Structure 1
């Protein structure tokens, strides 16, 4: 995951290049400006692009200013407080001013701060942690109907982590990453079968996939006139979706293993379709579980 950060610091060109390079090594891409005025222009022009903002303690208020003071920091902080009423954009104060270091009045007024040179790595680590936590909250809110499954206790927390991984991580860029995504999708699907066994919707989650699907569809057979003889838990549409996910993932997982990850890589259009198909299966699972507990 790449993190995009805006840094407002009038000295970034002369004293900040090593910090920017250090951040890049940690997948944090910093775009820097010299004043509060320029920073706010960037935030408005690229609304929603930045994951975090770094604020210098003493910085120029306006682009044309030649002096620095706390007015720039105060203005940026106030803007971000208002901005965050509708959005979530964390900010971090990063200072090299010795008169603010260990200054309780400054910290009481502006909050926690990081010291240039001393706290560089800690700042970068805290940015990543905060952004990742925000991303988790964002995803859970966007897919609240899916994550309700875990609030209700229908699936274990380990599966929730797998789903978050599936929804937050970037789409695969190589065959090794593709295999990981496909394995994750099928693992989540199989976890649903395990839980359905626990409430006796299916007899045995370790049965063959085709046997499980047949049972979920009512054990239809030619000899019985293609009519269900047991409870029907899924429609033909869900059955077809189950097959597509299971066999597509399985086929490519084994294919990539045989080719040592050098074989044909399906496009991310297909990966997104598989991911969205799995979300539909999870909604079906939630409904089925609720109706049979």
Structure 2
């Protein structure tokens, strides 16, 4: 996604910036005020990799004098309407650069005139725009990795799974479902590392594989039969309710069926089933948070 948005009222700088970006095959949309930011972001946020803000700019297009309130107003607007959307702050003088960094320690600030560092950072945002978009769309999932509750290799795997959420080519389903199943197993293995009461060591076979049925019975608690109907009656040691149990069990066996063999009757699931299994995995991750901390 080689598209960006810049908000700056200095036409000469913007024209030179556009020329340099176009030479690097990066498309630039431009506006000159906070009013322009509010107009352009709803149209472009799903198409651009990063928004670049001049530290001093106009509030309205019909103004001629820069307003120092611009940057605080713009940051507040972006935080409220586009949380975690990538942004870069530009300033033309050292004093503003130092003062801004003192009060906004987590913002990325670049001096005009040091374009090489700025262009390197813009390129990084463009190259990583899809991953960043997925992380914004699934913040409740990726905070697990931000908090180091699971490993970075599993974060990469989760990104790859979500990139394939809308895959319709059934010949690719086996690989996707293999990743889904691997991620599901990684959840229980990570819980075992953090909390052996929830997932004890005895839930694993000598070869390190999960003893699946044994683990599921442990996590959901006791079972009994009432009026000839088998029911799960969780006790104090139950860690899953029936819904999470059903999601997890269905995920495990459904993925396994299409990973290891062609099901009887040669029926191939559709993209709807693929998507539902991925969503099952997301729900399992949300359930697991409480035991990964």
| Aligned residue in 2 for 1:244 | 250
Q: 1:180 to 1:43 in 2, by over 3 A?
A: farther
**1:64-84 alpha-carbon deviations (Å, 9 max, x no partner):** 78xxx8x44846424313325
Q: Does residue 277 of the first structure (1) align with residue 267 of the second (2)?
A: no
**1:243-281 alpha-carbon deviations (Å, 9 max, x no partner):** 32123333444579xxxxxxx7842x4343222212333
Inter-partner Cα distance in structure 2 for 1:84 and 1:197: 40
Alpha-carbon offset, residue 39 of structure 1:
2.3
Alpha-carbon offset, residue 20 of structure 1:
3.8
* 1:104 equivalent among 94, 100, 103: 94
Count of matched residue positions in the alignment of Structure 1 and Structure 2: 258
Partners of 1:54 and 1:93 within 8 A in 2:
yes
Structure 1 unmatched ranges of 5 or more: 257-263
**Map 1:95-174 → 2, pairs under 5 A:** 100=92, 103-108=93-98, 111-115=109-113, 118-119=116-117, 121-125=119-123, 127=125, 136=135, 139-140=138-139, 142-143=140-141, 147=144, 156-158=150-152, 161=155, 165=159, 169=163, 171-173=165-167
CA RMSD of aligned residues (A): 5.3
Inter-partner Cα distance in structure 2 for 1:171 and 1:135: 11
Inter-partner Cα distance in structure 1 for 2:288 and 2:53: 46
| Aligned residue in 2 for 1:259 | none
Q: Any idea what SS the aligned residue of 2:52 has?
A: strand
Alpha-carbon offset, residue 191 of structure 1:
2.1
**Map 1:1-293 → 2, pairs under 5 A:** 2=1, 5-9=4-8, 10=11, 12=14, 16-20=18-22, 22=24, 24=26, 30-33=28-31, 35-36=32-33, 39-43=36-40, 45-46=42-43, 49=46, 52-55=50-53, 71-72=65-66, 74=68, 76-84=70-78, 86=80, 87-93=83-89, 100=92, 103-108=93-98, 111-115=109-113, 118-119=116-117, 121-125=119-123, 127=125, 136=135, 139-140=138-139, 142-143=140-141, 147=144, 156-158=150-152, 161=155, 165=159, 169=163, 171-173=165-167, 181-194=176-189, 199=196, 200=200, 202-204=203-205, 206=209, 209=212, 213=216, 237-253=243-259, 266-267=270-271, 269-282=272-285, 285=288
Inter-partner Cα distance in structure 2 for 1:47 and 1:169: 21
Partners of 2:5 and 2:52 within 8 A in 1:
yes
Alpha-carbon offset, residue 19 of structure 1:
0.8
Q: Any idea what SS the aligned residue of 2:24 has?
A: helix
Alpha-carbon offset, residue 16 of structure 1:
1.5
Q: 1:250 to 1:236 in 2, by over 3 A?
A: same
Q: TM-score, normalised by structure 2?
A: 0.57
Alpha-carbon offset, residue 120 of structure 1:
5.4
Structure 2 unmatched ranges of 5 or more: 101-108, 263-267
